[in-house]
Amino acid sequence: MLPHSAPITPASIASEARALEAELARIPAEAAITLLAGRYRGRIALVSAFGAESAVLLHMVARADPALPVLFLDTGKLFAETLTFRDRLVQQLGLRDVRSIPPDPAALAARDPFGGLWAFNPDACCTLRKVEPLAAALAPFAVWMNGRKRAHGSTRSALPLAEATEDGKLKVNPLAAWDGDAVEAWRVAHGLPAHPLAGLGYASIGCRTCTSPVAAGEATRAGRWRGTGKTECGIHIPQPAPNGDTDNRTA
Ligand code: SF4
């Protein structure tokens, strides 16, 4: 386990991730979240986009510890429906520490003064509106959870349950083994609301400028940055910096 005061080294984080992977693989997802919430209390956060599949993980976290911090990147480009859905879930689940994280206003004014960066440099836009704000918001935490799943395919098809990040944190993917059917079954069984856009074909929901519905048979994330070749916003992969240099942040 991560000690409260011992120095965290790349070797200790990698070792902890391997041990956690083996431990979490033996128990159901909700038990894993209860274990994580208790073991890392005060040092763990959930990162959620309040998207199409988000209610399940938020529900499990709320049952384990409703005061566990939930970090929500409010990019300024989200669907109004996502903000409404966030507020509804917060109220229904009794989440007590949901933090909406905006981009830095000075950085926004300097690098995207007219709000159109997404159209000609989406990597730089995601860095400005997601990667950098999340890195700052995660600074107080040693461990973070997120809702990625192997069923999303592409870069996520071999997703572990626990991994060490290059910036020395533990990143946990408690629902890595879940697919869309399992998510929907849990949502229905527990009376959780659906995202208002889910019924309109939006299988994965990010910013309104960069998200489109998917057709039957398309991959879950096919509607994200459609036609651009971009598949991730950068909070889960090394991100090119706005000047084109490689930036190895993993947030
Ligand atoms: S998803 Fe689109 S609008 Fe949102 S931060 Fe990334 S490029 Fe910008």
Q: Look up the CATH superfamily of 10-247.
A: HUPs (3.40.50.620)
Tens-place pLDDT, residues 164-202: 998 999 999 999 999 999 999 999 999 999 999 999 998
Q: Where are the domains of the chain?
A: 10-247
Q: Is 207 one of the annotated active-site residues of the chain?
A: no
Q: 101 CA distance to ligand 1 centroid (A)? A: 14
* pLDDT confidence tier of residue 4, bands split at 50, 70 and 90: low
Average pLDDT across the chain, whole number: 90
Tokens (6 digits) for 37: 């919430």
Tens-place pLDDT, residues 28-66: 999 999 999 999 999 999 999 999 999 999 999 999 999
CB 130 within 8 A of CB 76: no
Answer whether 175 contacts ligand 1 (Cβ < 6 A).
no
Question: Which atom of ligand 1 sits closest to the CA of residue 230?
Answer: 7
Q: Mark residue 42 as left, alpha or beta (left: phi above 0; alpha: psi -120 to 50; beta: remaining).
A: left
Q: Which of 66-75, 105-114, 242-251 has the lowest mean pLDDT?
A: 242-251
Residues 6+ positions from 122 with CB-CB distance below 8 Å:
210, 225, 228, 230
Alpha-carbon torsion 92, 174, 75, 105, what sign?
A: positive
Does the structure show a pLDDT above 80 at 249?
no
Question: Which atom of ligand 1 sits closest to the CA of residue 129?
Answer: 5
- Scanning the structure block, which residue is given the tokens 């990019």? 75
User: Residue with the nearest Cα to atom 6 of ligand 1?
Assistant: 126
